[in-house]
Amino acid sequence: MISPAELERLRRKVEAGEVLSGVELDALRAEAARTPGPTLRLTLAHALVNADAEREALPLMQALRRDFPRDLQVRLGLARALLGLERHREAEAELREALVLSPGDPEALKVLAVLALRQGEGARARAYVAEAVERDPFDAEAKLLRAELEAADLPPPPVPEEQVLRPEFTAALTAALGRAGVAFRRQGRDLLVKLASGGVGRVDVGSLYAAYREAPGTQGLTAHVEALASRLGGLSSGVGPTGVSLDALRPVLRPSGFVAGTQGALFRPGPAGLEVFYVLEDAEFMRYLPASALKDAGLTLDAVDAAAWHNLELRPADVRPVVIDHGEVRLAEAFSGIWAVTGGDGHDGARLLTKSQRRRLDAATGGGPLRVSLGRREVALLCRDSDGDSVRRLAELGHAPDGVPGSFLLEGDALRSV
């Protein structure tokens, strides 16, 4: 009999897709034989599949299906074994039955998408993936599959004549910005670029590099970064008689002393020691509204602030239960004690201060004081302040380099630091 710690180690190893040694497999087999329920028997079957022993795993999976016909993980495991044996029609039937047990299950949808693609049914594959992403916006595998399906509709890009690594691209871009007289500053993975009309634009260097790699290979690195520097140098704040309207403004929460505030961006003090900045919705660049734009556009800080919050008030986001797994935030199938505001557009922290979002929070959580983590810029996380275990898990998550450190309490319409 193996210890609980050793059993947990083996289980995690199987979940990661690793192959167990003969000794480990024998120990797991013995433990599964003496333990009731499907869990360890299913783990053993997955361990056999990991070792390319699908023919041995299949009878175990079929016995589990007979004994536990309504267990979703058993259905998914059986489908996996059948796929390994290239019995695609039978695997698809199991996956469809899994969807009857758990409508919209992302794991079943992703495998069905791959099967549809193998059969040349691209539209059906895309529909499965779209539903999987809608069910779980944090599912990186589903989003990657969606990108692959979208790319499959395009002709393959030509092989670039020169292989440029990201550090070389970054060095070439910053040199081109210098030659073009564009003021900029590195901040982590981003570039803060001085806009032609004042203020700051934030640019993700990784996105620019990816766009360069995907561009046709007819333009060399030097020509590409020269054109990019010229384009970045010509960016305006987007506010004015011919610029973006006030409808494009959104508020964002940033920690006190945020670097954009030292480069002319408009901001005001916010709650809990935070600062409120204003950005314009843009498909490519995040543009912070410069303070100089107020005079140019005949605006006041109060007018900008009111417009930005009004726009966000009209766009509340879903509140979904999540789990924190090894530092990763994932959607949960049921109540977990922690919720996420899932707009995913960088405005979820500010959304907490809107009435429309608080109504959704109250409906999801039952109301009352909520502990808040803004440590991930793409998502706001919350739990009941009275739930000590969930409060601890939020605190242990910490914050990303571009997130807001610290812990906050949302009570009514007030957000304060704790």
The pLDDT value recorded for residue 215 is 66
Percentage helix, strand, coil for the chain under 3-state DSSP, each rounded to 5? 50, 15, 35
The pLDDT value recorded for residue 241 is 47
Cα 13 to chain centroid distance, Å, stands at 25
- Quickly tell me which residue has 């996420």 as its tokens: 340
Residues paired with 250 in a beta bridge: 279
In this predicted structure, the answer to whether residue 290 has a pLDDT above a threshold of 70 is yes
Please provide the size of the chain in residues. Answer: 418
d(CA 164, CA 19): 36
The pLDDT value recorded for residue 242 is 44
Percent of the chain with pLDDT over 70: 86
In this predicted structure, the answer to whether residue 166 has a pLDDT above a threshold of 60 is yes
- Show me where the domains of the chain are located: 4-152, 166-233, 246-313, 319-417
305, 272 contact by CB (below 8 A): no
Higher per-residue confidence, 272 vs 115: 272
Buried b (16+ CB within 10 A) or exposed e, 182-208: bebeeeeebbbbbbebbbbbbbebeeb
CA dihedral 147, 152, 153, 155 (to 10 degrees): 120
> What is the C-alpha end-to-end distance of the chain, expressed in Å?
47
In this predicted structure, the answer to whether residue 33 has a pLDDT above a threshold of 80 is yes
d(CA 38, CA 74): 8
Determine which of 8-17, 95-104, 179-188 has the lowest per-residue pLDDT on average.
179-188
User: Could you tell me which residues come within 8 angstroms of residue 218 by beta carbon, excluding any fewer than 6 positions away?
Assistant: none
CATH of domain 4-152: 1.25.40.10
Q: What stretch of H or E contains 271?
A: none
Q: How many other β-carbons are positioned within 10 Å of the β-carbon of residue 163? A: 8
Write the pLDDT tens digit of every residue in 51-105. 888 888 999 999 999 989 888 899 999 998 888 888 888 888 899 888 888 888 8
Statement: the pTM of the whole predicted model exceeds 0.95 = no
| Mean of pLDDT values over 295-313 | 88
Write the pLDDT tens digit of every residue in 370-391. 999 999 877 899 999 999 999 9
Determine which of 146-160, 255-269, 353-367 has the lowest per-residue pLDDT on average.
146-160
Write the pLDDT tens digit of every residue in 217-255. 556 788 888 888 877 776 655 554 444 467 888 999 999
In this predicted structure, the answer to whether residue 292 has a pLDDT above a threshold of 80 is no
**Angle between the N-to-C axes of helices 122-135 and 106-118, in degrees from 0 to 180, rounded to the nearest 10:** 170
| Mean of pLDDT values over 1-23 | 87
d(CA 273, CA 416): 8
The pLDDT value recorded for residue 3 is 87
Cα 32 to chain centroid distance, Å, stands at 36
Higher per-residue confidence, 365 vs 198: 365
The pLDDT value recorded for residue 284 is 53
The pLDDT value recorded for residue 411 is 94
Higher per-residue confidence, 378 vs 365: 365
The three-class DSSP label of residue 198 is coil
Averaged pLDDT of the chain? 83
d(CA 99, CA 80): 15
In this predicted structure, the answer to whether residue 350 has a pLDDT above a threshold of 90 is yes
In this predicted structure, the answer to whether residue 192 has a pLDDT above a threshold of 60 is yes
The pLDDT value recorded for residue 274 is 94
Q: How many other β-carbons are positioned within 10 Å of the β-carbon of residue 305? A: 17
Higher per-residue confidence, 188 vs 122: 122
In this predicted structure, the answer to whether residue 154 has a pLDDT above a threshold of 60 is no
Cα 399 to chain centroid distance, Å, stands at 15
